[in-house]
Structure 1
Amino acid sequence: MLVYNPVSGKKKNHKNLDLLLKKLLEIGYQVTVYSSMELNNHDNAIKEACENKWDTIFIAGGDGTVNHTLQYVAEQAYRPKVGVFPFGTSNEFAKFIGIPTNIKEAVSVIERGQTKTVDIGKFGNQYFANIAAAGWLTDITYKTSPFLKSYFGEFAYSLYFIKTLLLAKQPGEISIRVSPHMELSDLSVFLIMNGNSVGPLERLINTTTHLNDGYFHLLTCKKTNRFQLLLALLAKILHITDNVSTINYTQINSGSFKIPESLMVNLDGDQSQVNSMEFKVLPHHLRVFIP
């Protein structure tokens, strides 16, 4: 199965779809294509592919398309291998597992056939592959204009980030119980990351990231004024110092979160409704093609 999102990312990426299908056919795959629009009316197609033990589910889209597919694959006892083709804006999950942006090179990854298991996250009743977040500035990915994203890619996020930093009010207090002995409070934002970058912010966390070590990264920020937050973020991004008083980093495999009712949770870049504020890592839950 190929899950294809025709409106993801930059328009020029979609010119490669026919090439992609031709290459997969040459490798030996018999591919059934579903657009993300079709799946809105027939989500059971993904579930049926799992129940019928199809070999592979390919995803040609961005992180939102990966996340949508994951909601159905993650629930199944048998989960097909997953191959990702980065057609989106940020393609965080593709970056995390090392998939090149060039489609011919990405197909070569599939042709070599090397796979590895990766951890995924579960927040309430929803799954995510790469990022879960809530609080100040975390609505950027789904509030940025699709028009801007189609022409400017990740730079569109930077423009909206500046606007939000200058104009948006901070939310009410967020708190997190990481373990019986560790609680973080008086927070304006939290970010759970499978990898160590977010959009154009490369290596936001300056540490080695593993695909399946059973832990995600947790980055939190204390409530502060805009100027102090900007300085703290710059210090973190530029790795001027790892000791930024307003920003805390720890590894996490489970936790209990408390956020204001007015806030939504961002899972893999999309606004999500969750039925609880409990988080856990699901180790080795997905098998993906890697270089």
Structure 2
Amino acid sequence: MKKAMVIINPTSGGEKALDYKEKLENKAKEYFEYVETKITEKALDATHFAEEASREQYDAVVVFGGDGTVNEVISGIDERDYIPKLGIIPGGTGNLITKLLEINQDIDGAIDELDFDLTNKIDIGKANDNYFGYIFSIGSLPEAIHNVEIEDKTKFGILTYAVNTMK
């Protein structure tokens, strides 16, 4: 039986990610007989869910979230004996990885365009025990990105990172 795991960060998509849950599940059911949805509640939940998907040999993982959630999923599926396909729905503030992969930035459009028959391989980097799919940085930038408030991201968008970097 083909199966997929959908991982949703509920604070994504302007804190409206759960509004897209049913549509995303229905899209996954076009390709997979069994679809399980997991909702993150805290840091590293997405990593643990992705580890479970790899361990239980899910055919695919679909992640709805921003760059941080996507990186958590990448960390969870890398270095496993089995690596499922990965679908990404951009729900973050910057969505850098989905922009680099030329994924539709409109949430509805990205869901509509999900196609698990078309796949591409991407390189994954590792620094210490952390994986990354698109960027590696040092200095004050990682701290500035990590220390933003969700409310500020919702209100000010990507400008929140610039302001936080100058603090």
Whole-angstrom distance in 2 between the partners of 1:112 and 1:37: 27
Whole-angstrom distance in 2 between the partners of 1:75 and 1:40: 17
Deviations 1:154-193 (A, max 9, x none): 12223323x33xxxxxxxxxxxxxxxxxxxxxxxxxxxxx
| Match status 1:118 vs 2:122 | yes
Work out whether residues 148 and 161 of structure 2, in 8 Å CA contact, stay in contact via their aligned partners in 1.
Answer: yes
Report the CA distance between 1:44 and its aligned residue: 5.0
Written as runs of structure 1 = structure 2, the 5 A alignment for 1:78-227 is 78-111=82-115, 113-161=117-165, 163-164=166-167
CA RMSD after TM alignment: 2.4
Pick the aligned partner of 1:62 from 63, 66, 81: 66
Task: Normalising by structure 2, report the TM-score.
Answer: 0.83
Unaligned runs of 5+ in 2: none
| Match status 1:3 vs 2:7 | yes
Work out whether residues 9 and 153 of structure 1, in 8 Å CA contact, stay in contact via their aligned partners in 2.
Answer: no
Task: Normalising by structure 1, report the TM-score.
Answer: 0.50
Identity of aligned residues (%): 28
Report the CA distance between 1:142 and its aligned residue: 1.3
Whole-angstrom distance in 2 between the partners of 1:52 and 1:138: 33
* Higher mean C-alpha deviation, range 88-97 or range 8-17: 8-17
SS of the residue 2:124 aligns to: strand
Report the CA distance between 1:14 and its aligned residue: 4.4
Aligned residues: 162
Q: Which has the higher contact order (CA 8 A, sep 6+)?
A: 1
Deviations 1:4-45 (A, max 9, x none): 1112352245432332223333x2333101112288579654
Work out whether residues 148 and 160 of structure 2, in 8 Å CA contact, stay in contact via their aligned partners in 1.
Answer: yes
Whole-angstrom distance in 1 between the partners of 2:142 and 2:46: 30
Q: Summarize the Cα distance change of 1:90–1:37 in structure 2 as closer, same or farther, 3 Å threshold.
A: same
| Match status 1:46 vs 2:50 | yes
Q: Which structure would you say has the larger Rg?
A: 1
Pick the aligned partner of 2:31 from 23, 28, 40: 28
Deviations 1:48-87 (A, max 9, x none): 3223321100101111111111122002021000000011
Higher relative strand content = 1
SS of the residue 1:111 aligns to: coil
Q: Summarize the Cα distance change of 1:63–1:41 in structure 2 as closer, same or farther, 3 Å threshold.
A: closer
Whole-angstrom distance in 1 between the partners of 2:13 and 2:93: 4
Higher relative helix content = 2
SS of the residue 1:32 aligns to: strand
Report the CA distance between 1:104 and its aligned residue: 2.9
Whole-angstrom distance in 2 between the partners of 1:136 and 1:129: 20
Whole-angstrom distance in 2 between the partners of 1:42 and 1:126: 14
